[in-house]
Each structure stands twice: as C-alpha cells, then as structure tokens.
Chain A
Amino acid sequence: MSFQVGLRGKAWFRALTGADSPRAGDPGSVLTSDVALGKDSARFLCVVPNPQARFPCVRKGEVGLEEAYTLAKRIREVVEQDENQKKRPIIAIVDVKSQAYGRREETAGIFLAAAASADAYATARMKGHPIITLVVGQAISGGFLTHGYQANRILAFDDASVVIHAMHKEAAARITLRTVADLERLGHEILPMSYDIRDYAKLGLLHKLLHVENPDNPAPATVGQVRDALILAVDDVRAGTTDLSNRFNSEAARQTRLAGLTARARMEAEWATA
C-alpha cells in the first residue's frame, strides 16, 4: 500500500503537469493544470489530501463537498471555453480512498455535490471532450463515482497498491455481516468482489492496465510511457462513441457480464413491441 492514500496521486499529478498547487480560490485538495498532451492542451484534475481542509472528514484525501463542487466548476469551465472549438481532453488522476464520511457533509447534501461533479464529467464527455481516468492508487466507492467513473476510458496501474472497489474491506464486512477474512476469501472466489486490480480488469471496465516501474516515484521514462498511453487513449476516444457502452461491449464483459447483457438484449427486443 502507498504510505498514505492520495500522495501517489499528487506525485503523478506533479510528474505529468509540473504543477502541484491549487488554482486561486480553490481548496488545497483539488489540483488543476492545463498542459500539453500530444497535439492537445489537456486539463488535468486530481484530488489530494489537505490536512488543513475546512471540513474535518476530508483531511486524508476523501472527496467531500468542496472537492466535488470544485471539480464540477473546473470541468464546466473547460466545456464553456471550448464551446465553439476543438474539445480539450480532461484527465482525471485518481487516488481517493472514498467520499467524505461526515455529518456536516450529509447535512449539507454531499449526494448533490457528488452528483454535480458526475454531471460535469458526463456533460463534458457527451459534448466530445475525451475524458481519461488514470487510477494510480485507490478508487473507492462514492469517491470514484464523483471523480473519474464517468470517463470514456479508464487506465490503471498494474500494481498491488491499486484498488478499485465499492467499499473498504472493514466497512463492507460490517454491512454484509461477514468477517474481513471471509470477505478476502470471497474476493478470490467471486470476481466482482475481488480487491485485486487484475481481477477488476476481467470485468471489461478498464481500457488498459499499465505496467509501470516504481509507481511511487515516477521516473522520467515512466512518465513518458504513461503520457504516451494517455495520448493513445485520447485518440481512441475520438474514434469512438461518447457514451459508456464500450464498458459492457468489451470482450472481457462478454465473458463476465453475460447476465446483464442478456437482460439488456431482452429489454431491447421487448421494448420495440411494448
């Protein structure tokens, strides 16, 4: 595991953009930078830990109210600026342990904040902005729904510290009335419950697993390799559709999501005659 969730995200944001400070007026936890990516200028976004955050339950890199609304603002800004020109790519660098688990957040409607950010990402995608998510560390639960899961393409490091999941082990164990040991055992048997990124890749949701050397300390050659992968992913998006159908139409999904695909095919057939 990385020493602290979010630090790897910050390291990769810095490596890919040369910047690591927030925009004026933004919370310290949201990094925004516009840099060249191939022939494009791309907007990079990242949520990082901010120990001085205003809200106590986001200080370890969780995605809270300010983070979600700031992401929404920075994404919508790009959409507005590019209204009548070539749509810039937006790159979400993801290393978030979760959404904020706080009473202040619930009271002030964090569900709407998360929705606003997902809305902004999806709106940008539908308008033709290639959205690429790069998971360098953790991508958990509502944190990932808010920041990254609306992307056209998801890339992740093939690394033991990379986890994409619906919930932390401890929380999931309590809610499903299981022990953590049970949950780990089940994860090896039940594909969608696995905490292993290589198992996640079998679900067909990932565009690519990237094999990188020493992901905690990005070396120039590795950064170049990742940048090339991002450029290829942007090209791939521009050659395809703006929806998320590539996830369930992928070759891997045809193996592992057969029940869902069957339900979908039946719905299409019956809809026409209903």
Chain B
Amino acid sequence: MSTATVVPEFVRRTSFIELDARSRAEMLMDAGTGRELVGPFERIESPWLPEQGIAPQSDDGCVVIKGQIGGKPAVVVALEGGFQAGSMGEVSGAKMTAALDLAARDSQNGKKTAAVLLLETGGVRLQEANLGLAVIAEVIGSLLVLRQHAPIITVIAGTVGCFGGMSLVAGLSSYVVMTPEARLGLNGAEVIEQESGIEEFDSTDRALIWAINGGEQRVGMGLADELVEDNAAKIAVAVRKYVEAGLPRAHRSQQVELYRERIDALDVSQQIDPLSLRSSWDTAKKSGGAR
C-alpha cells in the first residue's frame, strides 16, 4: 500500500482507545440490542471512597451491557480506565461477578451467553484493599463457572493495560485480544522496582516495559490470541469472531504441563531476553502448544 492510502484510513478510523468504557461496550453490541444494567442513574457507588476524600463515580467505573454480538447472547463488562485506573472495588467487583453468574445461569439453561471483558485496570483498588482482592477472587470463581459453557473474551486496548489481580482474569479467559498500545502483566514495573530494586527493573525504561508487557510481545509469545490495531471496527470484528468460535479445545490456564516444561527450560542465570523468548515459545506453540 502506498502512504497515500494508509494515512487517510488511519485518520478516518474510529479509535477504540479514545472511547470511554460505555462507548466501547456499546459499539461491540449488535445495533439496537444492548441494554445497560445497574447503570449510573441507579447511583450504586463505592461507600469507601468518600470516607477518604475521594469522589466516587455513579457506575463505580464498571459498565455492564447485555445484548447480542453476531446474533448470539452476550454480556459486555467494561472497566473505565479513567476512574481510579479501572481498579476493582466492592461495587465494580459485585457487578462483574453478578453479570458472569447470570450469564452462567442462562448458559446452563440452554441460552449460551458469552462474556466480553474490556479490561483497563491496575487491579485491586487499594482504597478498598481487602474487598478489592476479595472481589477479584470472586470474579475468578464466577468466570470459571461460565467458562464451562461459553467463551470469555478479554479485550485489552490500552492505555491503562491490565495488571495486578485482574491479569489472572486475562490469563483465565478463552481468548485475549490486544492492541499494540496495550500492556498485560501481574506486576507493574514501578512495583517491581520498589520491591526488588532498580537493578531488577528500571521503571523509567519504557522500551523495556513494552518489550515485556506489550501487546505485540504477549501475542507473539502465545499468551494472547490476536493483535489488532487501535480501530474500533476491527476490534469489533475480532470479538465477533471469538464469540462465534465458542469454546477453545483447551484453555491456556489448563495447559499446566506445557508451561511447566517451558519454565523448566528457561536459562534464569540472567534476565530473559523477551525477543528470544518470543521466538522459542512461538516455535513451541506451532509444534504442539496450539489450542
């Protein structure tokens, strides 16, 4: 393609990253099918933030929309990265858990309902500390019930990324879609630097962070399924494809022996080069790691 055709498309496209959580969720739904549940006008807010002088948000940063995707029943749960970095609190956690439980109930009753999770989150909301960690454990429990019946599709678009306890939720998902602007990992670089020192991880080294946590790397090493550019229409196509695909033969988090062997094979006498790891795991993926 010539530059002349590439630039106009890039300019014309609708960015997904620039949309807020509600708009992201809405645009994944088949037109006219989506209905928001426990929306902002019901004002179920965090009771813990005002006590700390922090303004709550009337949807607690979690948007739940039930409807159809590609003609199939689905629920989208979107975390708002712009509110407390998408962190999980008592209310946002309860909304996500309840949505997953209800999708599981419908699925068990014959109406298979996929869940699409838009994860822009730093993990636990530290102002609700123990309830934040507890709701993540409950989200995991509910997700695994639903996953027996219908696929869980996680989209990490950016710019917050998906970190902390919620990275486990990505790890447990049937499919993970990422953009090149998205990051995925358990511990952010700042936390590693604080806990283990700057020799372990220099959190100002942006290139290193992207080489390890970036969407291109996570998809390249087989820990996420598809890299899609920041284009709302293309992300919607990818999500529809995975809703349509149904359950994979095996979930990544069930492939314990494959990953145990890979970890055993690592040379850990020095830091691991992300690019070499990508090519060795990619090869392994083609020769038997495929799901």
Q: What residues make up the interface of A, taking CB atoms closer than 8 Å to B?
A: 54-57, 65-66, 69-70, 72-73, 76, 98-99, 101-116, 118-120, 122-123, 125-126, 141-142, 144-145, 149-150, 164-168, 170-172, 174-176, 186, 189-190, 192-194, 200, 203, 205, 243-244, 247-248, 257-264, 266-268, 270-271, 274
Contact = CB atoms under 8 A, between A and B. Distances in A.
Contacts, number: 256
B237 interface: no
Contact of A261 (B94, B134, B148, B165): B94
Contacts of B274: 107
**Interface hub of A103, A144, A243, A247 (most chain B Cβ within 10 A):** A103
Contact of B272 (A70, A104, A118): A104
Interface of B: 35, 37-38, 42, 44-48, 51-52, 60, 64, 66-67, 90-91, 93-95, 97-99, 102, 124, 126-138, 140-142, 144-145, 148, 164-165, 167-172, 184-187, 190-192, 194-196, 200-201, 212-213, 218, 221, 223, 251-257, 259-260, 262-263, 266, 268, 271-272, 274, 277
Contact of A268 (B98, B136, B142, B259): B98
Closest 9 CB pairs of A and B: A115-B171, A260-B94, A111-B167, A101-B195, A267-B98, A149-B137, A166-B129, A192-B131, A119-B253
Contacts of A190: 48, 51-52, 127
The prevalent SS among residues of A at the interface is helix
Nearest to B221: A109
B185 A111 contact: yes
25 contacts: A54-B268, A57-B200, A99-B187, A101-B187, A102-B196, A104-B271, A106-B187, A106-B201, A110-B185, A112-B252, A116-B254, A118-B253, A119-B172, A120-B256, A122-B144, A126-B144, A164-B130, A192-B131, A259-B91, A259-B94, A266-B38, A267-B94, A271-B99, A271-B102, A274-B35
A263 B126 contact: no
Given A116-B171, A189-B51, A263-B98, A172 B129 contact: yes
Given A118-B168, A192-B129, A260-B91, 12 more contacts: A73-B260, A106-B186, A113-B259, A150-B141, A175-B126, A176-B127, A192-B128, A257-B131, A258-B47, A260-B93, A263-B98, A266-B42
